[in-house]
Amino acid sequence: MVRALGDLESTIMDRMWSYRRPASVRDVLEDLRREREIAYTTVMTVMDKLHKKGLLRRHPVGKAYVYETVSSKEAYTAGLMRETLASGGNQAATLVHFLERLSPEEAAALESALRVYPPKGRQE
């Protein structure tokens, strides 16, 4: 159940990112209903949760809320990856390697180390 809700969160976020404009729970519901049976309250609950998590922002229009994404998927990804790379100090959390920022000389040394190796070994 928890897993299913998590999946729904990611599905709804993907829809919201693809619209590139604000959308109400009804809009998202109609979009989702083209593929599956789903209750209004379920979508509302998940969107409310995404709002509480700070991923969606909303403002009331009439009796309902209109939601929009706080920032783009690309921006979130960039943030997450940057955080991953920066957490080199806390490797116990994410084991990131290949992190060395190479100087041009070091990069050249790496390339040449590979080049002297018999080309047969480099074939895929």
* Contacts to another protein by CB under 8 A: 6, 9-10, 13, 55, 73-74, 76-78, 80-88, 90-103, 106-107, 109-111, 113-114, 117, 121-122, 124
**From the CB of 117, what's the least distance to another protein, in Å?**
5
Per the CB < 8 A criterion, the answer to whether 57 and 65 are in contact is: no
Select from 26, 74, 69, 77 the least CA-distant residue to 50. 69
Side-chain half-sphere of 18: how many Cα atoms within 13 Å? 9
Nearer to another protein, 41 or 87 (CB): 87
Min separation Cβ 27 and another protein, Å? 19
